[in-house]
Amino acid sequence: MSDLTDLYQQVILDHNRRPRNRGVLPKANRVAHGDNPTCGDQCSVYLRVEGDRIAEISFDGQGCAISQASASLMTTQIKGKTALEARALFESFHHIVTSGEAPEDISDLAAFAGVHAFPARIKCATLGWHAALEALSSPAAVLPTSSS
């Protein structure tokens, strides 16, 4: 049996209390916004991409605990990764939140396995990830570089 205490596991609570990489990234060269109107979640993801690698990342936004904790965890997971690696991590995460299956080798992401029992919450959990992938791949996400 699943209930909300399963959903809000320790990792989620911790990221909610102390969000990592939160705020606007001053030297960002990419940004994308995510919006989940059914829950009222909003999330912006800022990236500084160097070559093909995510050198720096931050998120900013507001919404439910799941959306904010997931965005916070996402930044810690894909910082330093290439776009390809980030996409592979999202595939793993998406599998976890839709199936409830939690592979042991990616334990922090597995904290969100309980979300699968609440289908409406899957959009909350993936909001930050979608924004990050859009920031990585969309030409519209590219920001003009300020100092040159």
Residue ranges binding Zn ion (CB under 5 A): 39, 41, 64, 67, 124
Nearer CB in complex with Zn ion: 54/93: 93
Least distance from Zn ion to the Cβ atom of residue 124, Å: 3
d(CA 51, CA 41): 31
Nearer CB in complex with Zn ion: 73/83: 73
Q: In the β-sheet with 30-36, what is the strand arrangement from edge to edge? A: 30-36, 41-50, 53-62
The three-class DSSP label of residue 103 is coil
Nearer CB in complex with Zn ion: 124/136: 124
Nearer CB in complex with Zn ion: 35/85: 35
Least distance from Zn ion to the Cβ atom of residue 59, Å: 14
Least distance from Zn ion to the Cβ atom of residue 29, Å: 28
d(CA 131, CA 28): 14
- DSSP annotation of 145 reads P
Say if strands 30-36 and 53-62 run parallel, antiparallel, or are unpaired: unpaired
Least distance from Zn ion to the Cβ atom of residue 12, Å: 12
Tokens 């829950």 found at: 39
